[in-house]
């Protein structure tokens, strides 16, 4: 009898627990579905949409009603209803995006201030040149939650670049492709104020026609982990230029993309100062000399190296100094001599290897032989 009572008691407790869990799930789902947009933020979104250049019909009929959390391109916190993400970037798939890109529009930054919990904002490809008088990006210092900002493919001038230093909460900043249509961005100097961006970890300055002076300027942002500088005009033409020696304080920088620049072997050698580097992309730099810079970068514990299209010729390099590599690309070069198994066998951690578009017929036979031996 006692056993029967115990079993009934346990069964009852289990049933109660199940009912509680079901009720809790219903409460959570109901709370998520019924989250209400903040009226102040709904009005701010409408004002923002009315003020910026946007492809015709892209949001027509989609930003209506009081529940702005259900609007396209808007993401809200499921509990508080605050807007946390806003994606107003123009896609290159829009047939008329180029008309807006060239527009040279002015941004009224104060319209975004009611979005106090905003964490991510994209305003890519709007042709933004500057801000309206009295409403610059310095006002975004009040957006203390803003961590990700995308201003790519605009037409930003120097002043707006400087004002970005006010947004001290930033962790990710995309300024790619701002050199077109007479932008002043290639001449930016004196980014000392960016030292305020102590949380900035990811920065994209690709395709901006920047020269070597950007190397000086970026030394003031030691928090960087990933840096994209491809498609610029970085070289050693500046007087008293010592390459990347200025970056010895970038002790957190793990990934660097310098593809499509004009680097020479001296500049490449100076990258050894950035001891934290793990991934390095140097594709299509034609001035780096005739041999792969294995020894020059031997001090780095690199895991990913890409040297595609650098016009390297002659014998295949001895890769013994890069034993930590997990991925290596030497594709689209002019390597044409016999590859020894010793060179590849030293890459004990290699997972990806691209040697395509060279003149190394023996390479494929040798790689296959090594694969058979290791399998």
CB-count burial class (<10 Å; 0-12, 13-18, 19+) for 353: middle
pLDDT in tens, 44-79: 999 999 888 666 556 767 899 999 999 999 999 999
What pLDDT does residue 181 have?
44
Range with the poorest average pLDDT among 143-147, 153-157, 188-192, 343-347: 188-192
Cα 194 to the center of its chain, rounded Å: 17
Overall residue count recorded for the chain in this entry: 375
d(CA 277, CA 252): 8
d(CA 375, CA 373): 6
CB atoms within 10 A of CB 126: 23
d(CA 76, CA 282): 40
pLDDT band at residue 216 using 50, 70 and 90 as cut-offs: confident
What pLDDT does residue 207 have?
93
What pLDDT does residue 126 have?
85
**For residue 261, which of 290, 230, 239, 240 has the smallest C-alpha distance?**
230
Which of 248-252, 291-295, 337-341, 358-362 holds the top average pLDDT?
248-252
**For residue 366, which of 335, 348, 336, 345 has the smallest C-alpha distance?**
345
Mean residue pLDDT across the chain: 83
d(CA 128, CA 111): 15
pLDDT in tens, 98-135: 665 555 688 999 999 999 999 999 999 888 889 988 89
d(CA 74, CA 59): 12
What pLDDT does residue 21 have?
52
Backbone torsions φ then ψ of 84, nearest 5 degrees:
-115, -25
Identify the sign of the CA torsion 146, 149, 154, 159. Answer: positive
d(CA 363, CA 288): 23
- 1 Cβ neighbours under 8 A, 6+ residues apart: none
Backbone torsions φ then ψ of 269, nearest 5 degrees:
-60, -35
- Concatenated DSSP letters of 132-189: -TT--GGGGGG-TT--EEE-TTS---HHHHHHGGG-TT-SEEE-TT--STT-SGGG--
Which of 30-44, 318-332, 337-351 holds the top average pLDDT?
318-332
**For residue 292, which of 269, 316, 274, 309 has the smallest C-alpha distance?**
316
Helix (H) or strand (E) holding 313: strand 313-314
pLDDT in tens, 7-57: 556 565 656 565 545 444 443 433 335 678 999 999 999 999 988 866 655
The average pLDDT across 131-152 equals: 95
- 5 Cβ neighbours under 8 A, 6+ residues apart: none
pLDDT in tens, 252-265: 999 999 999 999 98
What pLDDT does residue 72 have?
93
Token look-up 């020269």 returns 211
**For residue 206, which of 174, 172, 250, 159 has the smallest C-alpha distance?**
174
Query: Looking at the predicted structure, is the pLDDT value of residue 266 above 60?
Result: yes
Query: Looking at the predicted structure, is the pLDDT value of residue 88 above 90?
Result: yes
- What pTM does this model have? 0.85
Question: Would you state the structure tokens that stand for residue 56, as one six-digit string?
Answer: 């015709």
């Amino acid at each position: 009898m006692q056993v029967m009572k115990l079993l009934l008691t346990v069964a009852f407790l289990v049933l109660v627990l199940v009912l509680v869990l079901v009720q809790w799930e219903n409460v959570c789902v109901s709370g998520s579905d019924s989250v209400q947009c903040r009226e102040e933020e709904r009005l701010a979104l409408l004002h923002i949409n009315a003020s910026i250049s946007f492809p015709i019909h892209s949001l027509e009929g989609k930003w209506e009603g009081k529940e702005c959390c259900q609007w396209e391109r808007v993401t809200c916190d499921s509990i508080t209803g605050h807007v946390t993400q806003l994606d107003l970037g123009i896609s290159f798939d829009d047939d008329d995006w180029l008309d807006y890109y060239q527009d040279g529009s002015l941004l009224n930054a104060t319209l975004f201030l009611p979005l106090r919990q905003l964490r991510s904002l994209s305003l890519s490809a709007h042709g933004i040149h500057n801000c309206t008088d009295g409403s610059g990006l310095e006002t975004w210092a009040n957006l203390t939650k803003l961590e990700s900002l995308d201003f790519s493919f605009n037409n930003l001038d120097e002043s707006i670049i400087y004002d970005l230093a006010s947004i001290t909460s930033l962790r990710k900043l995309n300024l790619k492709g701002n050199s077109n249509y007479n932008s002043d961005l290639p001449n930016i100097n004196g980014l000392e104020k960016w030292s305020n961006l102590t949380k900035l970890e990811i920065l994209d300055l690709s395709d901006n026609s920047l020269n070597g002076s950007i190397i000086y300027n970026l030394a003031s942002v030691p928090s960087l982990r990933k840096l994209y500088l491809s498609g610029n005009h970085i070289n050693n033409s500046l007087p008293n230029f010592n390459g990347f020696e200025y970056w010895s304080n970038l002790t957190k920088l793990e990934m660097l993309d310098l593809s499509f620049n004009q680097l020479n072997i001296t500049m490449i050698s100076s990258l050894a100062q950035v001891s934290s580097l793990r991934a390095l992309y140097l594709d299509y730099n034609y001035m780096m000399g005739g041999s792969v810079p294995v020894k020059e970068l031997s001090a780095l514990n690199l895991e990913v190296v890409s040297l595609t299209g650098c016009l390297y010729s002659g014998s295949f390099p001895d890769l013994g100094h890069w034993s930590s590599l997990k991925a290596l690309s030497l594709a689209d070069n002019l390597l044409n001599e016999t590859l020894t198994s010793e060179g590849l066998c030293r890459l004990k951690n290699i997972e990806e290897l691209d040697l395509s578009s060279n003149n190394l017929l023996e390479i494929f036979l040798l790689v296959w032989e090594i694969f058979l031996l290791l399998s």
